[in-house]
A and B are shown apart, each in its own frame.
Chain A
Amino acid sequence: MTAQAPPGRPKPPNTIKIDGREIPFEPGDTIIRAAWRQGVEIPHYCWHPGLSIAANCRMCLVELPPPAGRPAMKLDVLQWDPVKKDYTFSNKPKLQPACQQGCSPGMEVLSESSKHVADARAAVQELLLLNHPVDCPICDQAGECRLQDYWLEHSRKGKRMKQEVVHKPKAVSFGPTIVYDAERCIVCTRCVRFCDEIAKDPVLDVRERGNLNEITVSPGRQLDNNYTLMTEHVCPVGALTSKDFRFKARVWFLRTARTICQGCSTGCNAYLDFDPRSNAPHRHRPRDNKDVNQYWMCDLGMLSYKDAIEGRLLEASVGTGPASIDDAISAAKDLLGNVAQRPEKVAVILSAQHSLEDNWALFTLAKTYLGVERFFVTGKPLGKGDEVLLSEDRNPNTAGVLKLCEGNPPRALGDLLKMADEFDTVLALGGHVEVDAKELGQALKGKKVVVVSSHVGPLSKLAKVALPACSWAETDATFVNKKGRVQSSERALHPRGSATPGWQLIGKLGRALGFATSWRKLSEVRKAMTGGEPASISGKQTEATA
């Protein structure tokens, strides 16, 4: 608007006023985005900070009083005059959608404080619910549904249309992960725009018109890209539900921990929702982080919450039989014997699957106390990546391991297979390996193998002594993503079985071997790990508000 301030006068600051409150904005911001950044919510359905603007729900309407001296744009509306028993025309200002309207310095915006805005929002809310089945009791979205929230905030009225609602298809399978309920859909097109713009796979679109509109999958296709569950996440209502989560939990019973996704080396920030009553994880949701995953996660990551229970190593074992942790540690001590006298015979395998703390503990025990020189690293084999988020490297902490061993880079496990004869002892973290399990079995035959792992894998199966570590969901942990970003993850669940944090097990083992691996608390590990500095856990943890 005022591109150039007249000379002499100071340029107006880059702020707008929403209901009298100063809100700074950045060039190109819309009103809703500037407000959102400051934590001021303007109600919205179709707007999403990561998607293009559709401005179709009309929930975000705001009033923009005209600059002084200019007339406001008025529209005629009808009013019923009960005294005169006739209609009279009055007028209302033209409202603008805050999600579309750009900011200009000094602009005034009336949101909560305008009666016209309140009326318009109440009307939109009523209209959205007009043909809605209101089946909240059987809807998975209940408890986190915008229709419910905004109804409370802006409407609080019963349905005034008493006739049967328009019926549309229910429980339409869109693909392997998503079910669609057209009656609940408010046609905000978030899901369509997500597929077009973020997943780059335009499989969804709107069909029909008017209030028969519904979302449809491209004919001959299914919603089966790498980001299908995100459509469910962006859906502000219960129209899209995840087959995985459907009918399993009510969200108000769930608690949430801020974790790091274990699916790949991108290290997406996630929320892990779990039921504290049953100690069961229920789903991953993306946690907004502008520098890592923006607002998104891939299906693999969203479903990787299951790794907190599936494929777990929950009890210690000696040979092929189960054992208590203490028995297993003393068995390991016997097995390893005078290991400190022959460090050149010891191979240490670090795991890109385990946290920085676990790796640090093993690395310190081996390098500082045993004097081992040769380190290897392993993890899950490479998979197929994509351009959006998913990395080929399916391990959350590869960069962490490499960073730990700076100056003495660990070799790939494949190398160990070739030089297996040089070793008689293997200390390993993690169960998964990227090499062929059979070849590994051949190479490690007859060797003294001690493994600390959260999951069952070829390595843990080959172990003479296997110790059960906590998964990422059961302990606070640190991971380094492929860009070298150190990120912390919170504990969600109580450990299952006899699982114990990996670094604790390694500390115990060290002490059993007679070393001063004295760390007992996570804070001690982190302090030691970072050389006295508090762990550099970066990443401003923005809450998902959209």
Chain B
Amino acid sequence: MLVRTNYLSKRYTETDGWKLGPYERDGGYKQAKRALGMKRDDLLTEMRAANIRGRGGAGFPMGVKWGFMPWPPKPEKPHYLVINADEGEPGTFKDRTIMELNPHAVVEGCIIGCFGIGAHAAYIYVRDELHLSKARLWGAIKEARAKGYLGDKPFGLDYPVEVYVHTGAGAYICGEETSLLNSLEGRRGEPRLKPPFPAQAGAFGMPTTVNNLETIATVPLALKLGGEAFSKLSDLHHLKDGGVRLFGVSGHVKTPGVFEAAVGLTLRELVYDLGGGVEHGELLGVIPGGSSCPILRPEETVNAPDAKHVLHPWHGKSVLDVPMGVDTYRALGTMLGTCCAIVLSDKADPVLAFHNLMRFYRHESCGQCTPCREGSAWLNRILTRVVDGKAEMEELDRLHEIANNIMGNTICAFGEGTAMPAMGFIKKFRKELEAFVRPEGQGVDRDARARYFPPSRPAARLATARSGPADPRQEHHEMAASRPSSSQPARSSCWRRPGLHGGRQEPDPRRDGPARHHRRHRGHVPAARRRVPRGDPDPGLRRRGGGALPVRHHAARAERRDRDARTPRGARGSSALGHRPGGRRRPATVGLASAASALQDAEPLRRARSRSVGRELFTEQVVPFQLSGALLLVAVVGAMAVARGKQADPPGAPPPGPCQSRRRSPSPPKEGS
């Protein structure tokens, strides 16, 4: 049942609504003050009654999680509250709206949260790319501190609370809570083994609660309304899934955006009422809650004849009519996740979407455990061949085996987050996959490619470029080359053996000359200007062993290591898996930031956002890899639609710019090279 609410997003459209004044006018910080005067048990009881299910993906009841903290806190073991604002899940963009437009709710939530778990410090871990979010949070903290709401004596009460913002460096895996803690501590952002769980040994080895940003921002509201009353706003109160939350919808809908509503909304309402209906054709499927959730197709129906089954009330109905709740969706075989749906119209190609997703997971796997590290890459490899029209039936049959073998066999839930959507796509789009596979005993089916990427359409070029290079080595090097540019400039050619590639698009320093090579790989300093760094143990030996590579590549690698050295070991891995934190700003991010600030002109949030996506996609044809995953997916799905859809606006020719050379050039191969 669609009940739109206006608690969290009340000031979203108000000029300067994110400042302290408007927040206090609406009763802000009263709950924090009240909480600090409460008994901890009473607060926990309220929170349990509020039935706030974690908004970060797993949907664990927040009040229960707070209760896991050892009590009373030992003086030698300080507790910490850590807020997860990494928001890396493709298709998810709700937390940033809170940070940008309602940051004081976060700060107030942190104060209450700290009191609830016995902590005196809260760390908000924000994805690096979200510059406006960080600025707004910093601003809010500053305002709150100036007012005496934070610090040694918040509201004059004797419970010191500090809130810090910590910047990640844009690795999806750093959203996983233990990985986030590692990153927070300045280690390599790899998930930790559990047990011990964060409540026993979390940040800095101390008891820690990790909450999603939206979860904590909901806390003041729940306290204000009273736990029970808050929970009852939801249609699924009986399933202990209470309150209101932010719903996102993106992809092929007419009005993508973030909407606040009571829990219990159905997917149909989200897509058709809030999202304004499907754009470019009919509904093909919906990925309900961020890309890690298996896709749902509208023709699926609920089969729950057992009266005790959670889904029984919806027996025989379309899955679109099941209320979006943690338990209902789990029963459907998918997940609610972050509650931000991605809509695909039938003009989009599910195979390309699938491939794109797997590309993402391959790129973001931390590589710790074997099944995820190798399995995600293999899935991607096969799908690359599929969309290139090179795959064989036998390879198609391997997809589900790989996914099965990842499933449950990994350290963190990333493995399942890869395997489950893969299984969903495999099961539900087998026919479409088969269409890409060349017929038995025949050569490469070039038509398959042509069918899907008519060369005349400019947007198709993007799709072609995205579909990946034909040569797996190229794919590998492309992946390497397109990692966060701050850390990995010309990785691609560093260890390549010259001559191994036909590689027309691969930069060849010997052919291109250093200047051109430099241009192609921004940030790659030509060898002439670089000294061979100290500490390079034995370049000669490496050169011999490495297969007669040009010296400068070794120098480049060594220099990178050299540069990393300047950060002490502890900080080296900071956040981005060994990448240098604080990279160069990417133009796309700036675009987003400005798009977001356009909101202040009282323009509805969703318009601004979709516009920014559109601009990124259609005018520049650059979709940087590290752009928030949400936009990435939306962008590609959009591109596909345009490629195939009838009503696509032909975008203007892309301006040639340095950005373009960073990506693989989509132009056809030149003869003789």
Interface residues of A, Cβ cutoff 8 Å to B: 53-59, 61, 75-80, 86-87, 89, 92, 94-95, 100, 119-120, 123-124, 127-128, 130-131, 160-161, 163-175, 179, 186-187, 202, 205-213, 216-222
Contacts and interface: CB of A to CB of B under 8 A. Distances in A.
Contact of A219 (B366, B377, B401, B563): B563
B371 A124 contact: yes
A128 B374 contact: yes
Nearest to A55: B193
A171 B542 contact: yes
A220 B374 contact: no
Highest count of chain B CB atoms <10 Å: which of A212, A218, A219: A219
B378 A161 contact: yes
Main secondary structure of the interface of B (DSSP, over half): helix
Contacts of B10: none
B156 interface: no
A209 B577 contact: yes
Given A87-B400, A95-B409, A127-B405, A206 B426 contact: no
A79 B545 CA distance: 45
A164 B472 contact: yes
Nearest to A86: B430
B669 interface: no
Nearest to A202: B569
Interface stretch (B69-77, B160-168, B310-318, B531-539): B531-539
A86 B534 CA distance: 60
Given A54-B368, A127-B378, A205-B572, 14 more contacts: A56-B368, A58-B371, A76-B420, A78-B426, A95-B409, A123-B371, A167-B495, A172-B542, A186-B370, A209-B365, A209-B577, A213-B373, A219-B564, A222-B537
B373 A206 contact: no
List the 4 shortest-distance A-B pairs measured between CB atoms, nearest first: A171-B545, A219-B565, A219-B561, A123-B405
B376 A56 contact: no
Contacts of B1: none
Nearest to A125: B370
A87 B364 contact: no
B375 interface: yes
Nearest to B539: A173
B473 interface: yes
10 contacts: A76-B420, A127-B405, A130-B377, A163-B472, A169-B546, A179-B545, A187-B367, A187-B368, A209-B366, A216-B561
Contacts of A212: 367, 476, 479-480
Contacts of A217: 537, 561
B427 A78 contact: yes
A75 B569 contact: no
Contact of B423 (A78, A120, A123): A78
Given A53-B193, A220-B565, A207 B578 contact: yes
Interface in B473-513: 473, 476, 479-480, 494-497, 500
A447 B55 CA distance: 91
B318 to A, nearest CB: 20
B367 A58 contact: no
Contact of B569 (A77, A164, A218): A218
B370 A76 contact: no
B410 interface: yes
B373 A210 contact: yes
B299 interface: no
Given A55-B193, A127-B375, A179-B545, A164 B480 contact: no
Highest count of chain A CB atoms <10 Å: which of B333, B364, B375: B375
B130 interface: no
Contact of B578 (A55, A161, A209, A211): A209
Contacts of A55: 193, 369, 411
Highest count of chain A CB atoms <10 Å: which of B370, B377, B407, B546: B370
Given A163-B472, A166-B476, A171-B545, A210 B365 contact: yes
Contacts of B541: 171, 173
A21 to B, nearest CB: 24
B503 to A, nearest CB: 12
B405 A164 contact: no
Contact of B408 (A87, A95, A164): A95
Interface of B: 171, 173, 188, 193, 333, 362-371, 373-378, 381, 385, 397-398, 400-401, 403-405, 407-411, 416, 420, 423, 426-427, 430, 471-473, 476, 479-480, 494-497, 500, 533-535, 537-538, 541-542, 544-547, 557-558, 560-565, 569, 572-573, 577-578
A76 B333 contact: yes
B537 A76 contact: no
A130 B374 contact: yes
Contacts of A75: 407-408, 416
A210 B400 contact: no
A69 B457 CA distance: 62
Contacts of B378: 127, 130, 161
A185 B572 CA distance: 22
B189 to A, nearest CB: 9
B565 A218 contact: yes
Contacts of A218: 561, 565, 569
Contacts of B557: 169
Nearest to A223: B537
B240 to A, nearest CB: 21
Given A131-B374, A173-B542, A211-B377, A164 B561 contact: no
A213 B367 contact: yes
Nearest to B573: A205
Given A209-B365, A210-B362, A210-B365, A128 B562 contact: no
A213 B579 CA distance: 12
B512 to A, nearest CB: 21
Highest count of chain B CB atoms <10 Å: which of A92, A120, A165, A220: A220
Contact of B367 (A77, A89, A165, A208): A208
B188 A205 contact: yes
Contacts of A169: 494-495, 542, 546, 557
Contacts of B495: 167-170
Contacts of B500: 167
A174 B546 CA distance: 13
Contact of B373 (A92, A160, A172, A187): A187
Highest count of chain B CB atoms <10 Å: which of A130, A163, A202: A163
Nearest to B172: A209
Nearest to A73: B408
A192 B623 CA distance: 36
Highest count of chain B CB atoms <10 Å: which of A80, A206, A211, A212: A211
Contacts of B563: 219
A127 B363 contact: no
A217 B560 CA distance: 12
Contacts of A211: 362, 365, 367, 373-374, 376-377
Contacts of B408: 75, 92, 94-95
Given A123-B405, A169-B546, A186-B370, A205 B476 contact: no
B547 A170 contact: yes
Nearest to B375: A127
Contacts of B542: 169, 171-173
Contact of A175 (B366, B480, B497, B537): B537
Contacts of B479: 212
Contacts of A89: 333, 427
B430 A87 contact: yes
A477 to B, nearest CB: 38
Nearest to B368: A56
A87 B434 CA distance: 14
Highest count of chain A CB atoms <10 Å: which of B364, B374, B416: B374
Contacts of A56: 368-370, 411
A80 B403 CA distance: 13
A57 B557 CA distance: 27
Nearest to B500: A167
A52 B558 CA distance: 30
Highest count of chain A CB atoms <10 Å: which of B398, B404, B577: B404
A170 B572 CA distance: 24
A163 B398 CA distance: 14
